[in-house]
Amino acid sequence: MDSTNWNLSALYDTEQELETASQEAFKRALEFEKRYKGVLKKLSADEFYDGLKEYESISQLLGRIMTYAFLKFAQDSNNGTFYAKYQNAYTNSSEHLLFFELEFNTLPPNSQKRFIAASKKYAYFLDELTKAKAHQLSLKVESVILKKEQTGSDAFARLFDEYFSVLKFGYKGKKLSEEEILSLLHSPERSTRKAAAAAFTKELKKHQHLLGFIYNMIRRDLKTECEIRKYKSAEEFRHKENKISQKSVDALVRTSEESFYIVHEYYEKKREILGYDELYDYDRYAPLSGADEVFEYERSREIVLETFGAFSPVFADIAKKAFDEGWIDVYPKSSKRGGAFSHPATPDAHPYVLLNHTNQRRDLFTLAHELGHAVHQYLSKDVGFLLSDTPLTTAETASVFAEMLVFDEMKKTAGKEAKKAMLSSKLEDIFATLYRQINFTTYERAVHAKEDELTLGEFNKLWLEQSVKMFGKSVKLTSGYKIWWSYIPHFIHTPFYCYAYAYGQLLVLALFGLYKSGAMSDFREKYIEFLSAGGSRSPKELVALFGFDIEDEKFWRIGLDEIKKLVDEFKEL
């Protein structure tokens, strides 16, 4: 078996199996509706519990079907029609399940409490469901929204993905993919970085009208949804999904922006080391001497396995399964989706990791990052489908922690030049995960605050305004950089996702500092408990396992202090 491509047999062996499963899901959804619709209030606690388990089982079957269809599409965007077929089948089945959560929220409080008390591990799920009542609509309206999903924001997200998966960037007579052209921004040659940035900008500019239109449609769709669901702002729905308060998000953004001076200090020092009069945006990822190591996939694999094993045999065992059993699609391919992700799939299967490995140091850390996600997703499968979905705020914890483990291990044996290069690379990763994501969040706030459709000039202006906050005078932004908002997929797929990266980064730095200090003797056990909980407990409760309060600005400053220590260490070297 080729271990560098996905083995989808954990989901389905053949497309005929997939089709049979889809038909089964529809049949079961119909039967579920006939049995339970309109009668929840008449059920005994045991009968309701049986119905809830059946609801989860059908939902998991649908999730399994859509995982297979999505992975085929991510692997090859030419499978768009195939993906659309099963999106439609998913919608048709889901329409017959839609009543269940809505009807539960119409029950008298006493009935709800009785059912929650008898629902064992599902109690948290049902309790959280009651909190969503204020934003739920009638069954008729919810059915229309469900039907329209495929031609609304989901359709524009699909168009965005298909477009970028086949987009090519002309560079020195070659046609490069998005991943290949962006990887050149890490070249040690300044002329290469500058030319790559110019080529990327030149091609992006040709597609600005379409990309701007897509983003405007995403904005309008979200605005409409928020209006009819009575959300106070465009971002409130995301905080509800993430099970955190606006207060904690505002505290994160505020404390992060107040520490942008750390970014400025770092880039000023990097400019000195490189000997430049000005550091331009295409110089941000310029490697320092000692950073020219090649990290082939096999080498990266061994580093990650050794590091995970040193931390916990549990981590190493899951990672080994991922490598050996076809959980990972490794290399860039024509029409393959760019970037990287770990898809949780369903508890009765296993996660699937997408990479675009190009043998650079950052690819090693991307591998560690995505396998951290996979470990988290695999550990949480025991809580079941309805509770395994982790809020974005804690979903990034395991991934960033895994990166820190690999970084810390490699730093131990590195010489001075290699250590300096590693610190530089790690700080830039942290800046990308923390400060850049805060930039993205404030950009989204500015974009979604506008009433009318934005012109391309307005998108560009807001992008530069927010970017300058992060870089100050330490990085000079070129005129082409103003359009680089248009390739960020999170703006299209998951509005207001990005602060979750920053949240996870600072949470991890605080946790990692606690782990390295040795002050908590049972840290590993608590950490595995944290990951295994999935979405069955609130982020506030989970973080409290380590004695932290996510709504206290002092907590966020713990992580920021850890970054400052790394910058100081870099400057001393």
pLDDT attached to residue 292: 67
Distance CA 65, CA 60 (A): 9
Token digits for 548?
């932290």
Residue 552: predicted pLDDT: 80
**CA-based angle 257:261:267, to the nearest 5?**
120
Tokens 């979750």 belong to 500
3-state secondary structure 392-409: HHHHHHHHHHHHHHHHHH
pLDDT for 291: 58
For residue 135, give every residue at least 6 positions away whose Cβ sits within 8 Å of its Cβ, in sequence order, or none: 229, 230, 231, 237, 240
pLDDT < 70 positions in the chain: 1-2, 290-292
pLDDT one-digit tens code per residue, 32-83: 999 999 999 999 999 999 999 999 999 999 999 999 999 999 999 999 999 9
pLDDT of residue 149: 82
Q: How far apart are CA 163 and CA 159, in angstroms?
A: 6
| Distinct helix (H) and strand (E) counts, the chain | 27, 5
Residue type at 231?
A: Y
Query: Quick one: pLDDT at residue 264?
Result: 96
Which 3 state secondary structure label does DSSP give 389?
A: coil
Q: b or e along 59-82 (b: 16 or more beta carbons within 10 Å of the residue's beta carbon)?
A: bbbbbbbbbbbbbbbbbbbebbeb
For the segment 383-442, what is each residue's pLDDT rounded down to a tens digit? 999 999 888 778 889 998 999 999 999 988 888 888 888 899 899 989 998 999 999 999
Q: Which domains does the chain have, with CATH numbers?
A: 8-148 (1.20.140.70), 234-325+360-573 (1.10.1370.20)
Task: Quote the CA–CA distance of 404 and 415 in Å, as a whole number.
Answer: 19
- For the whole model, what pTM was predicted? 0.84
Distance between alpha carbon 494 and the CA centroid of its chain, in Å? 9
